[in-house]
Amino acid sequence: MNILCLLDLPDGDAEKIEAVAPSVSLTMAPNWFDGEIRETWDEFAAAQHLMPDANGHGTREERDALLAKADVVFGGWPYPFDLRSRAPNLKWFQQQPAGASNLRKGDLWGSDVIVTTSRGFGNTLPIAEYAIGSLFYFARRFDQADRDRTEGVFHKPNYKSLLFEGKTICVIGAGGIGAHVGRLAAGLGMRAVGTKRTPGNDLPEGFSDIRSPDGLLDLLSESHFAAICCQWTPETDKLMNKEAFGAMKPDGVMTNVARGEIIDEDAMLDALDSGHLRGAALDVYVGEFEHPPSERLWQHPRILITPHVSGKTDVHYRRSTDLFCENLRAFLDGKPMKNVIDWSAGY
């Protein structure tokens, strides 16, 4: 079993993979394709995700040879757009990121190759802490403090804070990240409700109600806060639209740690401008891999925007290699694997 790893793994992780079975032959090629990515991906995306001096390794022929013999590829993002066509023996690709939408541009999407993600095995707790912290930013009027510092004048009457205790938060996508958001929120005395595509019978820790996506508007009508944590799929594209923002309680706050396309940004800006929405914290935005945020997002006084960094902390909880090893064992044994992308569902 020839496995090609395109990631720079932590110490000891390569040995974990090789220990799964004697038949495993692991080739490490981190950063080998950076030059191709720089040439083929949008300049903005390449600049955001590659080191300034990263130009890859080996010749095109050597990189083609690596892909040609690979049965399995363990990769990250960005990745070669034409990976499938250059890997004729490829049977399975596991990507380190959790979001399936990362793969939409390449020829793996909708292909005959098994593709799995690391959903639920990433830095889910740090992302959830970001979501809660960004809600605090607006609830406690730190946005006003930032404006006052710029002007050099305090506007004390504008410091009208929201108390978390007793408020309701709607977690849209109560999965790996969302489950942590609900648990942390409940620890602050909030009532946590949320949506999942398949709610199940057991409530995640801290949640008082979980419904299918059809119940979103009803849950938003009870909520002062909303945290977007779901996958971006055709069903969730612009899920947070005019009707959804209108359903939220007045003076509410929203945070998005998923994908920008889940929000109708025009509807969000209208809700902010009208004062119905107190603030919006965005770690993502529409088209974040192709261009910077629009001027309206950059400059809006009720928006806090960061460059998709909610998972970056001094402590790493990412367990993508553990998941890869678990899936590798299942793949070799012909058993079901975790987080297999359903192309029709979009994740």
Answer whether 116's CB lies under 8 Å from 330's CB: no
Q: Which of 259, 278, 300, 302 is catalytic?
A: 259
Residues 264 and 204 in one domain: yes
* 134 plus 274 within the same structural domain: yes
- Average pLDDT for 249-259: 97
Residue 284's pLDDT is what? 97
**Catalytic residue status for 300:** no
Which range is least confidently modeled, 82-96, 113-127, 290-304?
Answer: 113-127
Task: Classify the phi-psi angles of 51: left when phi > 0, otherwise alpha if psi is within -120 to 50, otherwise beta.
Answer: beta
Question: What's the whole-number mean pLDDT along residues 254-269?
Answer: 98
| pLDDT of amino acid 55 | 85
Bond prior to 78 in cis (omega within 30° of 0): yes
3-state secondary structure of 228: strand
Residues 267-279 have a mean pLDDT of: 98
Task: Please report whether residue 277 resides in a domain.
Answer: yes
231-241 core/surface letters (b: 16 or more CB in 10 A; e: else): bbbeebeebbe
**CA–CA separation, 39 and 221 (whole Å):** 47
Pairing of strands 207-211, 191-195: parallel
Q: Is 288 marked active-site?
A: yes
pLDDT in tens, 176-190: 899 999 999 999 999
What pLDDT does residue 41 have? 86
Enclosing domain of residue 165: 124-305
Q: What is the pLDDT of residues 220-236, one digit of tens each?
A: 999 999 999 999 999 99
What whole-number distance in Å separates Cα of residue 144 and Cα of residue 150? 10
Q: Say whether both 293 and 168 belong to one domain.
A: yes
Catalytic residue among 141, 288, 300, 302: 288
For position 177, what pLDDT does the model report? 95
Q: Are residues 167 and 301 in the same domain?
A: yes
Average pLDDT, the chain: 94
Phi, psi at residue 207, to the nearest 5°?
-90, 140
Q: Among the options 308, 318, 319, 326, which is catalytic? A: 308
Q: Looking at the structure, do residues 218 and 72 belong to the same domain, yes or no? A: no
Q: What is the arithmetic mean of pLDDT over 299-326?
A: 91
Q: Are 147 and 170 in contact (CB under 8 A)?
A: no
At 30, phi and psi to the nearest 5?
A: -65, 135
Q: Is the pLDDT of residue 144 over 70?
A: yes
DSSP state of 230: S
pLDDT in tens, 37-80: 898 888 888 888 788 888 899 999 999 999 999 999 999 888 89
Supply the pLDDT for residue 42: 82
| Average pLDDT score over residue span 200-215 | 93
Q: Which of 257-266, 300-309, 317-326 is predicted with the least confidence, judged by mean pLDDT?
A: 317-326
Confidence of residue 170 (pLDDT cuts 50, 70, 90): very high
Q: Residue 200: what pLDDT?
A: 82
pLDDT of residue 165: 97
- Residue that wins the pLDDT comparison between 347 and 171: 171
Please give the Cα distance from 297 to 128 (Å, whole number). Answer: 22
Token digits of residue 242 = 């005019």
Polymer length of the chain: 347
Number of domains, the chain: 2
pLDDT at site 317 = 65
Cα separation, 16 vs 224, in Å, equals 45
Can you give the pLDDT at residue 331?
Answer: 97
Q: Distance between CA atoms of 68 and 100, rounded to whole angstroms?
A: 24
User: Tell me: the pLDDT tens digits for 1-48?
Assistant: 999 999 999 889 999 999 999 999 999 999 999 999 898 888 888 888
Residue 311 lies in a domain: no
| pTM exceeds 0.95, yes or no | no
Residues 143 and 282 occupy one common structural domain: yes
259 carries an active-site annotation? yes
In a shared domain, residues 216 and 129 = yes
* Domain shared by 261 and 300, yes or no: yes
Give the rounded percent of residues in the chain with a pLDDT score beyond 70.
99
Q: What is the largest CA-CA distance in the chain?
A: 69
CATH number, domain with residue 82 = 3.40.50.720
Residue 45: inside a domain, yes or no?
Answer: yes
Q: Is 151 helix (H, G, I), strand (E, B) or coil?
A: helix
Task: Report yes or no on 347 lying in a domain.
Answer: no
Alpha helices in 41-123 (DSSP H): 43-49, 60-68, 83-86
